[in-house]
Structure 1
Amino acid sequence: MLKDTGERIIPENMKILNGLLIEHIARYHFAKEYAYGRVLDFASGSGYGSHIIAKSRVNHVEAVIGIDIDPDAVKYAKATYYHPCSTFLVGDVTDQTLPDKLGQFDCIISFETIEHVKEEAKFMKNIYEMLKPGGTLILSTPFGEGRGKPSGQEFHVHQLTVQEFKELFADYPDKNFFYQKGALIQPEHPAVIEKNFPLGIAICKK
């Protein structure tokens, strides 16, 4: 049995109307339309998101690699979300040897990860090095008071402001921002920001 940390999404243990589950599932269904070729699900947790990509994009995806730091989560993913084109591996998103070990990807997805990462620069460097030229990055995070400020969330290092989030992608020539509230995801627009959407999603081309 995979331990529920309070933040971990384990669909099999959650009710269908659970807001956290709906939010996370919606994000992967939104992202799947951008997934192609060799895909990395960076911090894949229990593996449900990798499975959504593998199953729904079978004619567009060559392989889906899920990486997570928790061996129990990887074990659970392997047992629960088997798919012929999926592989789940234990790994740290800040491990600077990962680009050599894993190679490059056409698409990298990392949802609700960066707020947990102290070594943010190493995480973003790994993503950039592992993304092929012309590849697509899809990354999300909840907004908060800003870098270095307490978020009030037990497992979050901090939560970035909207501006800090957007500044993460300065090296990407083509980027679009979306904002999420529950299952609703909308493209960047002044009215959207004013409505206080609590989560941001960036879609960037290298």
Structure 2
Amino acid sequence: MLEDTGERIIPKEMKPENGLLLEHLARYTFALPYVKGRVLDIAAGTGYGAQMTAKKKKKEISEIVGVDVDPETIRYAKQHYYHPLLTFQTADALDPDMEEELGTFDTILSFETIEHVPDDQVFLQNILNLLRPGGTLVLSTPFGQGRGKPSRSPFHYHQITEEEFRDLFQDYPATSFYYQRGVTIEPKREGLHYPLGVAVCQNVDKQDDADILQAFVQHSAGGPEYVIKSRDNVLQTVDRDTFLAAVHKLETKGT
């Protein structure tokens, strides 16, 4: 049995309504509109999210590679989360040879990873090397006291501030920022506290024309930007109007 460290999400050992599980699933659900081509899931953990993505996007992807630094976790993922488009392998996100070993990707997912690495700049450069021109990175991390300062988790080197988070993606010409509270992922609304940030970044080759960038901006503006939970705990992406209607309904119900 895989050890439950408190950091790993092991759905088969959790109740379906577990809040932490639903929050993690919300991030994978949020990323679905951006997933295409060859996909890399960094720190895929037990593999549930990579498998869910493979099932939901099987017509839009050619392959998903799920990697994790822990061999035991990869063995578990292979045993429990098979899909014909999905492979799992052990890899270190700080390994400078990742591009040579894995190749390049159209989509890279990295949820709750960057806080686990001692050098986030090396980590981000590795991702940039792995991401094809026109490719998309979806990355999330919890906020905290800042780089180099202690966090509440013994597994985190640090938890960056929101300002530090927004400064991470200077090498990406197009980056959209979203924020998560529970299962809700949305553009920032004033007056609300968000414990976690999500960045959607486009890798545009400077030699290319602006068509790719323009298409990405249009997709970000017009695509599903919000994740909500229904009564039966089903997560779904919705447009802004649907989300605001759901929020209004909850606020009205509470008055």
Q: AA paired with 1:165? A: F
The answer to whether residue 180 in structure 2 is matched with residue 195 in structure 1 is no
Question: SS where residue 78 of structure 1 aligns?
Answer: helix
Indicate the residue corresponding to 1:32 in structure 2: 32
Aligned equivalents of 1:68, 1:7: Cα separation in 2: 13
Indicate the residue corresponding to 1:90 in structure 2: 90
Structure 2: runs of 5+ lacking an equivalent: 204-255
Aligned equivalents of 1:119, 1:175: Cα separation in 2: 21
Q: AA paired with 2:151? A: S
Aligned equivalents of 1:90, 1:101: Cα separation in 2: 11
Aligned equivalents of 1:166, 1:99: Cα separation in 2: 25
TM-score, length-normalised on structure 2? 0.78
Aligned equivalents of 1:98, 1:70: Cα separation in 2: 16
**More deviation, 114-123/51-60:** 114-123
Shift of 1:17: 1.9
Alignment of 1:62-141 (within 5 A): 62-141=62-141
- 1:116-135 deviation per Cα after TM superposition (whole angstroms, max 9, x unaligned): 10022221111000000110
Shift of 1:115: 0.5
Indicate the residue corresponding to 1:50 in structure 2: 50
Indicate the residue corresponding to 1:163 in structure 2: 163
Aligned equivalents of 1:174, 1:80: Cα separation in 2: 36
Shift of 1:4: 0.8
Aligned equivalents of 2:175, 2:119: Cα separation in 1: 23
Identity %: 53
Shift of 1:188: 3.1
Q: AA paired with 2:195? A: P
Question: SS where residue 106 of structure 1 aligns?
Answer: strand
Shift of 1:18: 1.3
How many residues end up aligned between the 2 structures? 203
Structure 1: runs of 5+ lacking an equivalent: none
Shift of 1:19: 1.1
The answer to whether residue 198 in structure 2 is matched with residue 204 in structure 1 is no
Aligned equivalents of 1:100, 1:25: Cα separation in 2: 30
Aligned equivalents of 1:17, 1:105: Cα separation in 2: 33
Q: AA paired with 1:151? A: S
Indicate the residue corresponding to 2:177 in structure 1: 177
Aligned equivalents of 1:156, 1:51: Cα separation in 2: 26
Question: SS where residue 108 of structure 2 aligns?
Answer: strand
Greater C-alpha radius of gyration: 2
Shift of 1:107: 0.3
Aligned equivalents of 2:152, 2:57: Cα separation in 1: 37
TM-score, length-normalised on structure 1? 0.97
